Structure 1
Amino acid sequence: MAFFRRLLASLSRDNRGNVLAIVGAALVPLTIMIGSGIDLSRAYMAKSKMQSACDSASLAARRVLLNDTLTTSVETTGKEFFGFNFPQGLYGTAAFTPTVTKPSAGVIRVAANTTIPTVVMKLFGFGSLPVAVTCDASLNFVNTDIVLVLDVTGSMANDLNGTPKIEALQDAVLALYDELAPVQTQLESQGLRLRYGIVPYSSTVNVGRLLYAKDPSYIRSSVTIPSRVANFNADVYTPQTPTSSGSWEYASGSYTSSACQSWVESSSTTGGGPAPTATTVTRYQGTSSSSGYSQSNDWGYSGASDTSGTYRSCRRWKVVETTTYATGSQKAFSSWTYQQTTYDLSNYITPTGTMTYATSGAGTVPAPGGTYNLRQLAASGTGTSTSTATWNGCIEERDTTTSIDGGTSLTIPSGAKDLDINLIPSSDATRWRPMVPDLIYTRSGGTTSQTSTNSTTTSGWILNYGYSQGYWACPTEARRLAVWDRTSLDTYLTGLQTVGGTYHDIGMIWGARMVSTGGAFGDACTYYNSMPCNRHVIFMTDGQQTAYCNVYTAYGVEQNDMRVTGSGSCTDQLIRHEQRFRMACNAAKNLGASVWVIGFDTALNSNLSGCASSSEQADTASNRTALIAKFQQIGNKIGALRLTQ
């Protein structure tokens, strides 16, 4: 014991070699610090790589999520993307299986937990370090406006693999709605919104009532159309009170009783005329007081030359009724003139308004007569055949120009008021015309007038859809942007009518108007509740552009109105409408809308595919299943994918 006390006292007085001891003692914690840094760096790199893999996995899985349903396909996609970006065993990590879940509507969550072995720290009892990641992905939906421009032409009623194409379209639109329903709920909970507008189109669109409700001055109250006027210039001859005179007629020595009866009861005869020449009616009877045959009075009558035997003299009473005619108080139909005719429609376009019009040249008008359009004739004629019509809501487009000749320019000429999407009506040139199919009568192309003297002839066609001619069509009324519930949307889609020919230009013109923040409606938004708005047009068709010369469309009857071609021959009308379609597509995209194009049971030509905002946004669907999938995919892609955690 005394020895150790002397050693320690000696060491305290002599400090040579202390540094070595101190360094030796410090090596242990220093080694721990350096080793933990190395191992933690490896763990950090592994976690960073895993996080990147997690992010890509959640985004990929969210992209294939349909109907907000977590399926095996969604889980498999997420796990495959995770494994591709972070293979098992990377950095020496222990085996693990990522999990894919749906914690809330529209959100996909991917999580993974593993460990990474240590190199240095295991010397001190730390054999591994934990590594865990989690990430959420959703679609970055903000306020969203979607305008559906839907081809509802007659071909959409055709069966495709046993299902009418219009029914497949209805199912596809509902599939789009179902795909976006969770997002719609999320947006509404945050004071935002998802809205749909719908434009069914064929050879025109049904938007007239919507325009009138917005502002009655948007609709013309007077139109000039291919129709006919009735010329009432023929004199009407009014019969005066007829006069009668009677006398005996005799036949002697040649009649049996039956032959005498036949002679006496001969049919009446007419004579004279036509008016104003007097007319006569001659009648025969037994006596001056009896119209029937009397054998005792008429066969072998008293004083006759033959009063007995088989053959006797015969007599009958002859009555002549004479009618004379006067003129001056009325005029009758003389001819139809088929020409451009102006009509006042101020009552017809009102919500409860109707229109009475003449259907033939029957009846008379007061002298001195003259020329009457069909509405004037119905109001002025006596005994005139008439009918009553109510506006169906379909429109003729406002004024345009014939300078759009089928070229490649996408610049809209100043005269093309129909293609000026945001132009608010301020004159008849910029107002829309109500369609009046009941008043439409065509004439030969390029002519200014034609005449017919038949009071009932149509000289061409009266253009009534539903009759054998079928030369005009009015689709179901469009709907402005609004928040829909599924039942209301289903009811509307079920009521879609399939009528008419394919005018892509009129469909896209009104799709652009519906998705615009300005113009007649100005329904779409740039911001709503301080949040931005995304706008989309989904254009679906089952056919190529058509253009008719003798059909009543949104541009009138081209062979007579000549608004697009300037010529009644219509030889280049189709390429002119195709150029209008390209201009309308370009206008929609210039408004900031994203355009999607779907060809259903039809190929996409360059006009249709070029209408889409990108090549990825133009595609075809060959059947009902493919069409539903295409609408679902669009719904899935309309919002930008983003990581939320």
Structure 2
Amino acid sequence: MAFLCRLLARLLHDHKGNVLAIVGAGLVPLTIMIGSGVDLSRAYMAKSKMQSACDAASLAARRVMKNDSLNDTVRNTGQEFFTFNFPQGQYGAQAFTPVITKPEAGVIRVNASTAIPTAIMRLFGFETLPVAVSCDASLNFVNTDIVLVLDVTGSMNDPVDGTRKIEALQDAVMALYDELAPIQTQLTAQGLRLRYGVVPYSSTVNVGRLVYAQNPNYMRKNTTVPSRVARFDDYAPKPPTLSGGQWEYYSGSISNNQCQNYVNADDVPGGGPPPTATTAVKYQGTSSSDAYVQSENWGYTGASDRSGSNQSCRRWRVLETTTYDTSKRQFSSWTYQQTEYDVTDYLKTNGKLTFATDGTGRTSTPGPFNLKDLAAAVTGGSVADMTWNGCIEERDTVTSIDGGTSMTIPSGANDLNIDLIPNSDATRWRPMVPNLIYTRNAGTTSGTSTSIGTTSGSIMNNSYSSGYWACPSEARRLAVWSRSALDTYVKGLETVGGTYHDIGMIWGARLISTGGIFGDSCDVYNGMPCNRHVIFMTDGDQTAYCNVYGSYGVERNDMRVKGATNCTSDDQGNSVTAQLRARHEQRFRMACNAAKNMNTSVWVIGFDTALNSNLTGCASSPGQADTAANRTALIAKFREIGNQIGALRLTQ
């Protein structure tokens, strides 16, 4: 026992070999710490990779989801994207299947969980480490304004693959609405908004009622148009009186034909000029018959010569006297010229403009009358009423825009100054007055009906060669639409007129602008930004006609686009139509540029037509200009645009 105590005492004081024991004891926790770092690092890398795969899967699944419906296509797409970015077995992960759900409207959620095998920690009983990810993809919470600029010209009534193009367009617009309906619901719940405006266009646009409702002073109270003026300078005649009826005898004998000519001789005028009484010696067959009566006029009973080929001849002679009412005047002639009309009452709600339709009736004063003034002054004449359909003529412009590539809008081109507030007649719009429009020879300031001949006439005859006018359906300002309201509106779109892209784009820019006469769009609403889009759809190229009454009047007489040499070939014999088209195309390019400069995204669709450089150049990017060959393709294109406008994003 004493020996053992002495041994322990020596060991207690001997430090040789202690380090080895300490190191041996420390290896265990050190191994656990290093192994945990290695295995946890692998698990972290796996989770990071899975999270990226989850994000990609949720975005892809949300992008293909239509009508807010979660179906096999959506699930399969999400799973394919997840597997592509995180293949099964990567990092040794156990097999798993991502779970794709729709927790709320417009949101796709992806959940995935697996386990990663450990390399070192399994020595201590930890064989796997759990890895789980979750992500949502939804539509961006930003205010969205969309203006649809829609070609509704006559060709939109033509069928493509058995469906009228206008019907295909109606279906496509509603497909766009359905694609964005979930985001509209989300935005509304957040106190934000998604709105639509619509500009149907052809040779003009129907925006006048919108302008007038915003401010009546934005419309002209007087307008000057190619029309006609009636001159009522002649004194009105009273019913003529007859006197001095008697037989007048031909000296000698003549043939039957010669006697007939003798009886039917022209009247012999006399007296006057009005208002002094005028007379006319008139000849007729008998006192009771204007016509030649052979038995009474040639070889008549009691005549001196009643046999042979030549016989006696006589006629009935009467004196017609006409006196005049000095207080009444009658029509004398038409003059075709630029004519001013007061349209104050015409512009008002339920207003009208009464106009004379011909030169009948009497006036109490002499002088020229435009058709409106004549209707008020004439008694016994033919008149009619015209009500405003809402279509407009553009405000003043310049003729120096002759093509080229410049995007600089010249001074005085008020039509292209999108945000200009009207402050003078030059900056105000005119109402269309189709019933008052009469054309005349190009380049002439005025003409009579005789000199004008067949080239004069009312624009109402609806012929492109001699005059045409069209008024599309009324445009709509930006507003939140219900599905039924938008469906009713687009199904009421009418197809009429020719293709003038410039006027459509000008008003598309005005309706999407944050300034100007409407200022309907926004940069920020309820604390959140606003995205602006214009979707421009057409089924044809720009047209231009000298005789169409549209947004720039009648070019052959108003000469607002091409100027004084319009509608006649130039010295080089170039086509006037080509020159006019080039000018309208340049205006279109300027309007597109103005819209894009307002931070607006422009999309262009060619329906059953190729896109030329003007149309593709109008889009904000090459990827935002495309074509659709038929109804199915058009619907798909509108859905695609709606999907991209939705601006997918990750929410967690």
TM-score, scaled to structure 2 = 0.86
Query: Structure 1, residues 208-234: CA drift from partner, whole Å, max 9, x if none?
Result: 010000000000010111000011223
Where does residue 218 of structure 2 map in the other structure? 218
Query: Structure 1, residues 116-142: CA drift from partner, whole Å, max 9, x if none?
Result: 111111111111111111111122240
Q: Does 1:613 find its partner at 2:620?
A: yes
| Aligned residue type for 2:600 | A
Of stretches 10-19 and 559-568 in structure 1, the one that deviates more from structure 2 is 10-19
| Aligned residue type for 2:436 | L
Matched residue SS, 1:37: helix
Matched residue SS, 2:460: coil
Matches within 5 A, 1:4-403: 11-239=11-239, 276-277=278-279, 324-327=321-324, 328-367=326-365, 369-403=366-400
Q: Does 1:587 find its partner at 2:594?
A: yes
Q: In structure 2, what is the Cα distance between the partners aligned to 1:245 and 1:639?
A: 95
1:199–1:5: structure 2 CA closer, same or farther, 3 Å change rule? farther
Matches within 5 A, 1:499-514: 499-514=496-511
Where does residue 257 of structure 1 map in the other structure? none
Q: In structure 2, what is the Cα distance between the partners aligned to 1:3 and 1:386?
A: 146
Aligned-pair CA distance for 1:98: 1.8
Q: In structure 1, what is the Cα distance between the partners aligned to 2:281 and 2:519?
A: 72
1:4–1:153: structure 2 CA closer, same or farther, 3 Å change rule? farther
Q: In structure 2, what is the Cα distance between the partners aligned to 1:352 and 1:233?
A: 35
Alignment RMSD (CA, Å): 2.8
Aligned-pair CA distance for 1:108: 1.6
Kept in 2, the 8 Å contact 1:239–1:323? The answer is no
Matched residue SS, 2:334: strand
| Aligned residue type for 1:434 | P
Q: Does 1:641 find its partner at 2:648?
A: yes
Where does residue 464 of structure 1 map in the other structure? 460
Determine which of 394, 402, 405 is the counterpart of 2:402: 405
| Aligned residue type for 2:20 | L
Kept in 2, the 8 Å contact 1:47–1:131? The answer is yes
Kept in 2, the 8 Å contact 1:465–1:473? The answer is no
Aligned residues: 592
Matched residue SS, 1:103: coil
Query: Structure 1, residues 335-368: CA drift from partner, whole Å, max 9, x if none?
Result: 111111111111111112101101111122224x
Q: In structure 2, what is the Cα distance between the partners aligned to 1:2 and 1:142?
A: 92
Determine which of 546, 549, 560 is the counterpart of 1:549: 546
Determine which of 494, 498, 507 is the counterpart of 1:497: 494
**Long gaps (5+) in structure 2:** 248-263, 271-277, 290-315, 569-575
Q: In structure 1, what is the Cα distance between the partners aligned to 2:230 and 2:4?
A: 143
Where does residue 261 of structure 1 map in the other structure? none
Q: In structure 2, what is the Cα distance between the partners aligned to 1:279 and 1:62?
A: 97
| Aligned residue type for 2:615 | L
Where does residue 297 of structure 2 map in the other structure? none
Q: In structure 2, what is the Cα distance between the partners aligned to 1:61 and 1:81?
A: 9
| Aligned residue type for 1:574 | R
Query: Structure 1, residues 375-411: CA drift from partner, whole Å, max 9, x if none?
Result: 1111111221111100110000000001101111111
Where does residue 584 of structure 2 map in the other structure? 577
Kept in 2, the 8 Å contact 1:236–1:331? The answer is yes
Query: Structure 1, residues 11-41: CA drift from partner, whole Å, max 9, x if none?
Result: 4454543333233222222211111111111
1:526–1:543: structure 2 CA closer, same or farther, 3 Å change rule? same
Kept in 1, the 8 Å contact 2:143–2:529? The answer is yes
Kept in 1, the 8 Å contact 2:449–2:456? The answer is no
Query: Structure 1, residues 313-334: CA drift from partner, whole Å, max 9, x if none?
Result: xxxxxx9997632122322212
Aligned-pair CA distance for 1:66: 2.0
| Aligned residue type for 1:65 | M
Of stretches 343-352 and 71-80 in structure 1, the one that deviates more from structure 2 is 71-80
1:284–1:541: structure 2 CA closer, same or farther, 3 Å change rule? closer
Where does residue 307 of structure 1 map in the other structure? none
Q: In structure 2, what is the Cα distance between the partners aligned to 1:573 and 1:199?
A: 23
Determine which of 638, 646, 650 is the counterpart of 1:631: 638
Where does residue 420 of structure 1 map in the other structure? 417
Matched residue SS, 2:172: helix
Aligned-pair CA distance for 1:457: 8.4
1:215–1:147: structure 2 CA closer, same or farther, 3 Å change rule? same
Q: In structure 1, what is the Cα distance between the partners aligned to 2:175 and 2:444?
A: 51
Where does residue 481 of structure 2 map in the other structure? 484
Aligned-pair CA distance for 1:6: 7.3
Where does residue 304 of structure 2 map in the other structure? none
Of stretches 128-137 and 19-28 in structure 1, the one that deviates more from structure 2 is 19-28
Aligned-pair CA distance for 1:449: 1.2
Kept in 2, the 8 Å contact 1:270–1:279? The answer is no
**Long gaps (5+) in structure 1:** 248-268, 286-318
Where does residue 430 of structure 2 map in the other structure? 433
Aligned-pair CA distance for 1:551: 0.9
Determine which of 573, 596, 609 is the counterpart of 1:602: 609
| Aligned residue type for 1:81 | F
Where does residue 535 of structure 1 map in the other structure? 532
Aligned-pair CA distance for 1:278: 5.6
Q: In structure 2, what is the Cα distance between the partners aligned to 1:465 and 1:43?
A: 81
1:207–1:14: structure 2 CA closer, same or farther, 3 Å change rule? same
Matched residue SS, 2:347: coil
Matched residue SS, 1:324: strand
Query: Structure 1, residues 528-587: CA drift from partner, whole Å, max 9, x if none?
Result: 111110000000000000011111010000011110000232611110000000000000
Kept in 2, the 8 Å contact 1:202–1:501? The answer is yes
TM-score, scaled to structure 1 = 0.86
Kept in 2, the 8 Å contact 1:441–1:459? The answer is no
Aligned-pair CA distance for 1:465: 6.7
Q: In structure 2, what is the Cα distance between the partners aligned to 1:518 and 1:273?
A: 74
Of stretches 273-282 and 628-637 in structure 1, the one that deviates more from structure 2 is 273-282
Q: In structure 2, what is the Cα distance between the partners aligned to 1:63 and 1:594?
A: 20
Where does residue 316 of structure 1 map in the other structure? none
Matched residue SS, 1:464: helix
Where does residue 564 of structure 1 map in the other structure? 561
Query: Structure 1, residues 598-638: CA drift from partner, whole Å, max 9, x if none?
Result: 00000000000000000010000000011011111111101
